[in-house]
Amino acid sequence: MSNCGESKGIACSCCGSSKVEVEILNNKSSKLNQLPIAVIGAGPVGLAAAAHLAACGEQFIVFESGSSVGSNILEWGHVRLFSPWQYNIDKVARKLLNSSGWNEPSAEEIPTGKELVELYLEPLSKLPEIQNKLYCNSKVVSISKKGLDKMKNSGREKTSFIIYVEKKGVTERIEAKAIIDATGTWANPNPINADNIWTAEERELNQHIYYGIPDITGSDRERYNDKRVAVVGGGHSAINSILELAQLGDSVEIYWIMRKQNVENAYGGEEKDALEARGILGSRIHQLVDSGQVKVFTPFKIHQLENQNSGIALKGDYQGEAFVLPEIDEIIANTGSRPNFSFLREIRLSVDPATESVEALSPLIDPNLHSCGTVRPHGEAILRQPEKNFYIVGMKSYGRAPTFLMATGYEQIRSIVAYLSGDIEASRIVELELPETGVCSLNLGAENSISCCS
């Protein structure tokens, strides 16, 4: 008689499982390994994942909700990054592109968002190793474990992921052995409400609110000409918007609304900044404020919007007193963004309650302690989730923290793909070369605008 009870599936005393159960698990594991790794999002980090997976000979599939790669970036395509090309191109992606005869941009030049897509992401997506595995207009609406809800433990790590993907109104179910979520945060802006709460009034007035960086001197020019415009936010994106509004001349009234205690906090190091371009940014906005061309309201905490006959009224607390700023025609919201976890409700996640970043990553990126240049390299071990072989990477891994750099995301990908490919030692070695001051975002005018490098 067998000790493990082959015929009846009696539990083995040494492992607690029957031989039948062990065979089933081994069979499931074999089938699981034959499935592809799914990448969600075809921006810089998502396509870097595709490049690394292709180089490792892994089966993979990439889903992009937009009509093209880099679709979120194209929304600020007129904006120029802080970082030059040398920090914007993944090393493995570069090797694949160079082998195809790609004309690499000059390392020291600083691209616009549109150039980033057209000169790098599009050629990368058209490589034969990637092209047939990339699906645009494919929105991931939910992810689960095959046949298991979030509470089920038994056999969970040996069970494939099921991805629900909407394509042209039809929902498909796709199996995968691992998932890399590189969906970013750009499509989920924060409200202008000082308590970070979406109100019915703000949603109703969204036809007069632009969330992001409009093409003020280009396609959106008429929207802001001869208008009273409020720019809400105290970071580089807000400064970008103001510098472009100023180019429209005196016909535009510019109101800068911030929660900072004083406007000087937004200027940065100016001529003392180790990054000259960032210093120029601070100096130019300083000059505009001093000239009176930009009217500053800070600290101004917006609590309510009201649609009046003369325009939008912004109601809230200004310097500790109740205040109403009336007759605003247009609002540009540069208040940051947040990750979308709605399609991950059936996935076991570890998310920091404050930053909404990957929980183990939060102490390394907390914007109260770090700038983008002081974030240390990190890889698979930091980014792994309780759900085995599920990873959140790129800007989304940082949650609401604005300290992300593309180069950091590329190192995340290198480490994760090494781990998924079985090279555990390589996954543990994380290295990243960045200037000590970081490479974040900027605006130098119509031809030299700026954005975060995510």
How much is the pTM? 0.85
Average pLDDT over residues 281-290: 82
Position 371 pLDDT exceeds 90: no
Q: Would you kindly state where each structural domain of the chain is located, as residue ranges?
A: 33-187+337-428, 200-333
Mean pLDDT calculated for residue range 118-122: 98
Is residue 206 over pLDDT 60? yes
Answer for the pair 82, 275: CB distance below 8 angstroms, yes or no: yes
CA distance linking residue 21 with residue 12, whole number of Å: 10
Q: Is 41 left (phi over 0), alpha (psi -120 to 50) or beta?
A: left
The confidence band for 290, taking pLDDT boundaries of 50, 70 and 90, is: confident
Q: Give the mean model confidence (pLDDT) for residues 38-62.
A: 97
Question: Which CATH number is associated with domain 33-187+337-428?
Answer: 3.50.50.60
Q: Would 33-187+337-428 and 200-333 be classified into the same CATH topology?
A: yes
DSSP of 294-346, one letter per residue? EEEE-SEEEEEEEEETTEEEEEEEETTEEEEEEEE-EEEE---B----GGGTT
Of residues 438 and 394, the one with the higher pLDDT is 394
Per-residue model confidence (pLDDT) at position 77: 93
User: 200-333 has which CATH code?
Assistant: 3.50.50.60
- The answer on pLDDT for 85 being more than 60 is yes
